[in-house]
Amino acid sequence: MPIDTRNPRLYLASRSPRRRELLTQMGIQFDTLAFRGGAREDSEVDETPHADEAPVIYVDRVARAKAVHGAKIAGWRRLRPQPVLAADTTLEFNGEIIGKPVDAEDARFILRRLSGRTHRVLTTVAVAFEGRLESVISVSEVCFGELTDDEIRRYVASGEPMDKAGAYGIQGRAGLFVKHLTGSYTGVMGLPLYETSVLLKRFGFPL
């Protein structure tokens, strides 16, 4: 069944408020498709990196798994057929995958590592529809200025880093840390608008 171009909608397989905001910015109508208990607790979309898995391979695998699983859920619930969009963001530092901090101490440790250094932010967007699955990746380089221990302590105490890859959100207070960015600002936020639009157009989704 083709996309209904008169009333185009998609399912967003993500709980991220930032991705909801960015889809709204694109003028896209969507329904949120939440996984039971959250993606981290669902074995079909396990975010645990495989041994020696490259960050680019990891982020693509997870995003595609989320889109496929979201499509399965839509089918099980007999929901209206429409594309399922999912995304995953990870941070790469010295070839290592840096995900979300497990606690405040881990967040402080991550931010101390990033202080005064350059890291890469990788976001893959995946779309599943009618048995078809495609993905695109956005790669950005972010350079932090030197952070003091007090700046890190106050930022972590705000709670903002706790659900974000790399322990920071560029759209929040951590925007003050960014000395230089090459790539996609919205990709660092979690949904690169250009790459997302290119992918949706491949499926015939009107924008």
Residues involved in catalysis: 88
Residue 86 CB neighbours (<10 A)? 29
Q: What residues form DSSP beta bridges with 132?
A: 129
The Cα 133–Cα 155 span in angstroms is 38
Place of tokens 């979690």: 190
SS (H, E, C) 88-105: EEEEEECCEEECCCCCHH
The Cα 10–Cα 22 span in angstroms is 14
